[in-house]
Amino acid sequence: MQIAVVSGKGGTGKTTVTSVFATLCGGVIVDCDVDAPNLHILLKPRILKEIPFTGMRKAKIIDEMCERCGLCEDLCRFDAINFDDDRYSVDVVRCEGCGFCYRACPNDAIEMVSEVRGKIFISETEYGPFVYAKLEPGEENSGLLVHEVKRVAEEIADERGFDTILIDGAPGIGCPVIASLSKVDKAVVVAEPTLSGLSDMERILMLIEHFKIEPYVIINKFDVNLDVSREIEDFCKSRNIPIVAKVPFYDDIPTLIANLKIPIKDEIVKAWRELSCMKRLRRG
Ligand code: SF4
Ligand code: SF4
């Protein structure tokens, strides 16, 4: 059983909810926000292993073999090859790894190389195994890294006999969140009662429904705007999507998080019990 906590954008309280779920789930915990991971700050993991992530191969010019013909610079449609100080070089941020220059160079002066672009961490917390990753600043391929992080978590679950994987999904609706949702059974959307929060929720729910994942919603800080909260409830009711928690605004949550304490709140605990109960019902 894979359960993902997602939101249409960052800053809705997704990681707060996941941290509370993590204390209750008794399974493998995964942070799929590889661009800006922060669940580890609250879970305080003990790192057991680091796995380098190499991502896609990029072009590299071997200067001694280059005859400065300029063909690669002309061919690269991503403007990733520069001529400076009488030598050609590749801008790795711009290079998309297409390999065109590598195949075209008349002197075999270009190689495609993998370099470490991030790290996956396998760790242990007081709540169970925890897998997370960090991508180097400016690097792309976060979707690929999310895929790897999830693969490692599934291996741990198989080896150690855990039947639940809890996922803190990547924010947004792009490639990393799609990778976060792969093989997921239930997705819990954390939404805030603002007009943009409503629109973000609708978009991520479309994605969840597209992948035929069971959708659930938590309204965070529901009492800061009761009108929009009602709109969220009406929307969910019209689509038959269960709202598993309406969490009020708690002014102590920022202080608890600043002090690295997980903000255990009754509404979130009950939401997890409801999700687990539905799991048992489904299996029974
Ligand atoms: S195509 Fe090859 S030889 Fe020509 S400039 Fe590029 S690297 Fe150098
Ligand atoms: S691999 Fe493709 S994107 Fe990268 S430098 Fe070569 S032609 Fe440009």
Q: Domains in the chain, please, with CATH?
A: 2-54+118-283 (3.40.50.300), 58-113 (3.30.70.20)
Ligand 1 pocket (Cβ < 6 Å) reads: 61, 66-72, 88, 105, 107, 109-110
Find out whether the beta carbon of 242 lies less than 6 Å from any atom of ligand 2: no
Amino acid 279: pLDDT: 52
pLDDT for 179 beyond 70: yes
3-class SS of residue 84 = strand
Find out whether the beta carbon of 61 lies less than 6 Å from any atom of ligand 2: no
pLDDT grade for 140, boundaries at 50, 70 and 90: low
Find out whether the beta carbon of 78 lies less than 6 Å from any atom of ligand 2: yes
Tell me the per-residue pLDDT of 206-230, one tens digit each, with 9 for 90 and over: 999 999 999 999 999 999 999 999 9
Find out whether the beta carbon of 101 lies less than 6 Å from any atom of ligand 2: yes
CA distances for 115 relative to 56, 191, 225, 258, angstroms: 8, 38, 48, 35
- Residues in the chain, how many? 284
- Give the ligand 1 atom nearest the CA of 88: 5
Tell me what the mean pLDDT of segment 161-183 comes to: 89
Amino acid 25: pLDDT: 92
pLDDT for 258 beyond 50: yes
Instruction: Judge contact between 241 and 205, C-beta under 8 A.
Output: yes
pLDDT for 147 beyond 80: yes
Which segment, 5-19, 140-154, 156-170, is predicted with the most confidence on average? 156-170
Nearest protein Cα to ligand 1, atom 4: 69
Quote the CA–CA distance of 216 and 213 in Å, as a whole number. 10
Amino acid 54: pLDDT: 85
Residue 158 burial by CB count (10 A; 0-12/13-18/19+): exposed, middle or buried? exposed
Closest ligand to Cα 76: 2
Residue with tokens 């941290």: 19
More confident: 284 or 207: 207
Residue with tokens 């809890």: 166
Residue 159 burial by CB count (10 A; 0-12/13-18/19+): exposed, middle or buried? exposed
Closest ligand to Cα 63: 1
Distance (Å) from CA 56 to ligand 2 centroid: 12
Instruction: Judge contact between 93 and 83, C-beta under 8 A.
Output: no
Tell me what the mean pLDDT of segment 195-199 comes to: 90
Amino acid 175: pLDDT: 84
What is the percent of the chain where pLDDT is above 70?
96
Tell me the per-residue pLDDT of 71-91, one tens digit each, with 9 for 90 and over: 999 999 999 999 999 999 999
**Mean pLDDT (the chain, rounded):** 91
Closest ligand to Cα 104: 1
- Give the ligand 1 atom nearest the CA of 65: 3
- Give the ligand 1 atom nearest the CA of 110: 7
Distance (Å) from CA 63 to ligand 1 centroid: 9
Tell me what the mean pLDDT of segment 50-55 comes to: 89
Among 165, 131, 128, CA closest to 32: 131
pLDDT for 284 beyond 70: no
Find out whether the beta carbon of 76 lies less than 6 Å from any atom of ligand 2: yes
